[in-house]
Amino acid sequence: MAINIAIDGPAGAGKSTIAKAVAKELEFIYVDTGAMYRAMALYLIRKGISPKEQEKMEEACKNAEISIVYEKGAQQVILDGENVTEYLRQEEVGNMASVSSVNPKIREKLVELQRVLASKENVVMDGRDIGTCVLPHADIKIYLTASARTRALRRCKELEEKGIACVLEEIEADINDRDYRDMHRDISPLKQAEDAVLLDSSNMNITEVKDEIIRLYKEAIA
């Protein structure tokens, strides 16, 4: 029987980094749901659709083909036959994903794909509503968070390492705005599942968070 680990939390909490590390150590499949939603957001942006045009989103998503493949152990996201992995971390794409992900038609298409995969394989899946909606029966649920300032500092460091200038206060304001939208959306709002373990990574490094989740996994299967 497949084992599922769900990791939820707000933007910039380190969910993807931690989920990848946990999946690698346990030799599970890492399913980056956020990347799938970002791929759909990129598709909508390329179609010239604005965040306010919900009906156009619903029509357009029917024709989008999104898949995840692994090449040399690394996840690659394929949109209509093109590897778009390198474009998915752009701020514009992230903001569109936050808006478009609440559209029922878009969610319906992607959630079905995620559930089918999780029913067949041992997976680590991260996102905003994995433990509450996508995989409500996951064996282990984690709610990973950190303060808005900590998340903004991490994001600025990422941008600066790429040679991109940033203003900390603007990044933090954007994170707070996205948190509010994610937590107050009508469909599957971001929240901690009742049976999820809360992990605040503000004062923890990647290894410490990963080791704690591995410990919880071993405790659960024991």
Report how far residue 60's alpha carbon sits from residue 17's, in angstroms, rounded to the nearest whole number: 30
Secondary structure of residue 72 in the 3-state scheme: coil
Q: Is the pLDDT of residue 32 over 90?
A: no
Our CA angle for 206, 207, 213, nearest 5°, is 95
131 is in an annotated binding site: no
b/e per residue 140-173 (b: at least 16 CB within 10 A): bbbbbbbebebbbbbbbeeeeeeeeebeeeebbe
109 is in an annotated binding site: no
Report how far residue 99's alpha carbon sits from residue 16's, in angstroms, rounded to the nearest whole number: 20
Give residue-wise pLDDT tens across range 135-146: 999 999 999 999
Total number of residues shown for the chain = 222
Give residue-wise pLDDT tens across range 64-78: 888 777 787 788 898
20 is in an annotated binding site: no
- pLDDT at residue 113, as a whole number: 76
Q: Is 199:5 a contact under the CB 8 Å cutoff?
A: no
- Could you state, in order of their start, the residue ranges of all structural domains in the chain? 2-213
12 is in an annotated binding site: yes
11 is in an annotated binding site: yes
* The model's pTM: 0.75
Our CA angle for 126, 130, 134, nearest 5°, is 130
165 is in an annotated binding site: no
Give residue-wise pLDDT tens across range 184-196: 988 778 999 999 9
Does the structural domain 2-213 have CATH classification 3.40.50.300?
yes
Q: Is 6:130 a contact under the CB 8 Å cutoff?
A: yes
17 is in an annotated binding site: yes
